[in-house]
Structure 1
Amino acid sequence: MPADIIHLLADLPSCGTDEDVSVLLTVPGLRVERIVSTGQASPPGFHYDQPHAEWVVVLAGSADLRFADEAESRRLAAGDAVLIAPHRRHRVDWTDSPTVWLAIHFGPELRV
């Protein structure tokens, strides 16, 4: 495969204690990541609160994403995507092993 082609579902890491985050592209105002979860979840009581927007899509596996302002988690399966607005507090309640995410962080508030 040519060096400039990235296969997002290849070379998945095996189980580990932390998610595997690979930054694929960074330019001013934009960061693209591949995240591989192998059963990880956010720590109890923890919520992400980012100053920038994030669009995530599950490429493989599944996960439960919970917003602080919603009573129930949202089950995301392969092909599902969601836009997370700036400062919308959220957490990952559960992930399948493996779950592969494509995360696109963007906006003028993003520091790269």
Structure 2
Amino acid sequence: MGNLFSQIPATLPEEIFQDLVKTDSVRIERIISKGHSTPCDHWYDQEENEWVLVVKGEAKLLFEDGMKVVHLNEGDYINIAANQRHQVTWTSPDKETIWLAVFYS
């Protein structure tokens, strides 16, 4: 048992990535961001599919194919196919963005 809103540090010099559930076929991760973004020269290119939900805060994702930008607000989710290259270009600098990411085959 746990709570997505517990154990959030007052300052976040780095994003927090925490596995909540991990099996051979699925991984559920809590991510906490506050003004963090992906370095411009780095693209996430995962072998698994990723379903991600912004529970709190907001963020912007950039997808390499077509350079499409997606703005996610609280409650918004998106499914990112395996090997779909993407970056987090912005997260709210004024409040935490709490993500729930489900990685699956």
Q: When the two structures are superposed, what TM-score results if normalisation uses the length of structure 2?
A: 0.91
5+ residue gaps, structure 2, are none
C-alpha separation in 2, matches of 1:67 and 1:13: 30
Structure 1: state its 5+ residue gaps: 108-112
Identity of aligned residues (%): 36
Runs of 4 or more off by more than 3 Å in structure 1? none
Residue 74 (1) aligns with residue 77 (2): no
Q: Which residue of 2 aligns with 1:86?
A: 82
TM-score after normalising by structure 1: 0.86
CA deviation string 1:66-109 (max 9, x = no partner): 110133421101100000001000000000131000001111xx
- For residue 35 of structure 1, the aligned residue among 11, 31, 38 is 31
User: Per-residue CA shift, 1:2-59, capped at 9, x if unaligned?
Assistant: xxx2111222222322111111011111111100001110001211001110100000
Q: Is the 8 A contact 1:55 1:84 kept in 2?
A: yes
Q: Which of structures 1 and 2 has the bigger CA Rg?
A: 1
SS of 1:73 mapped into structure 2: strand
| Kept after mapping to 2: 8 A contact 1:13/1:36 | no
1, 7, 23: which one aligns with 1:11: 7
